[in-house]
Structure 1
Amino acid sequence: MFVCLRSAQFRRFSSRALPTLTLFTKDPCPLCDEAKEALEPFKHRFMLRTVDVLLPENRCWFDRYRWDLPVFHVDGCGTQRVVMKHRVDSALLDKLLP
């Protein structure tokens, strides 16, 4: 969600400048809920994308992460890499995000 800005062009540029943090999750997932709360202080520094591993189209992610949720990827330069599992590492996130 964007804060009220003066121009739509600036909004588009700003959203592209932020890295995407992908959260692999399911419902229910108490650890995922805790992780979302821990992300709150950083929310202005990334765009959050969530992937529900229980959806049929996300079966490959379920097979990979079923025992490790939540899992976080950060994209950069067209690639994604796992940066955290199970809990948010605030110190690491602070280093990774602009």
Structure 2
Amino acid sequence: MFLLRQPAALQPAISRLLSTLPTLTLFTKDPCPLCDEAKEELEPFKHRFALQQVDISLPENRVWFDRYRWDIPVFHLNGQFVMKHRVDVVLLDKLLKDCKTQKT
């Protein structure tokens, strides 16, 4: 899970690194206790993906609010739905391994 603030000189290297990692999108809002729990469960995997968080309560994310308002947290991996409500660590580990295998 990379949420970085680095000097401008490092940006190209960081961009290359992040582009090689799968993107895990977390659909969330504030407050969301289940989302907070989910983020904690993601910690052991954080070096294996780039995390993108989408706040469904923002006006520009209305389509996601309409789709997921009762189901957050919801997770997409590289744009594909993978799970909701809770982190399935076994499934996540398998999917991340599959992503790594496909890259090599």
TM range (shorter): 0.7 to 0.9
User: How far apart are the structure 1 equivalents of 2:14 and 2:81?
Assistant: 27
For residue 94 of structure 1, what is the amino acid of its counterpart?
D
Query: Deviation of residue 57 (structure 1)?
Result: 0.5
Match of 1:37 among 27, 37, 40: 40
Q: Match of 2:86?
A: 87
User: How far apart are the structure 1 equivalents of 2:23 and 2:48?
Assistant: 9
User: How far apart are the structure 2 equivalents of 1:11 and 1:34?
Assistant: 27
Aligned residues: 91
User: How far apart are the structure 1 equivalents of 2:25 and 2:41?
Assistant: 14
Q: TM-score, normalised by structure 1?
A: 0.85
Query: Deviation of residue 48 (structure 1)?
Result: 0.3
Query: Deviation of residue 36 (structure 1)?
Result: 0.3
User: How far apart are the structure 1 equivalents of 2:13 and 2:35?
Assistant: 32
Question: Is 1:48 the counterpart of 2:47 in the alignment?
Answer: no
Q: TM-score, normalised by structure 2?
A: 0.81
Q: Percent identity?
A: 67
- Measured against aligned partners, the alpha-carbon deviations of 1:44-97 in whole angstroms (never above 9, x if no partner) come to 00000000000000011000000100000011xxxx111010000000110111
- The answer for unaligned runs of 5 or more in structure 1 is none
Query: Deviation of residue 11 (structure 1)?
Result: 2.9
Match of 2:22 among 16, 19, 23: 19
- The answer for unaligned runs of 5 or more in structure 2 is none
Higher relative helix content: 2
* Secondary structure in structure 2 of the residue aligned to 1:88: coil
* Secondary structure in structure 1 of the residue aligned to 2:75: strand
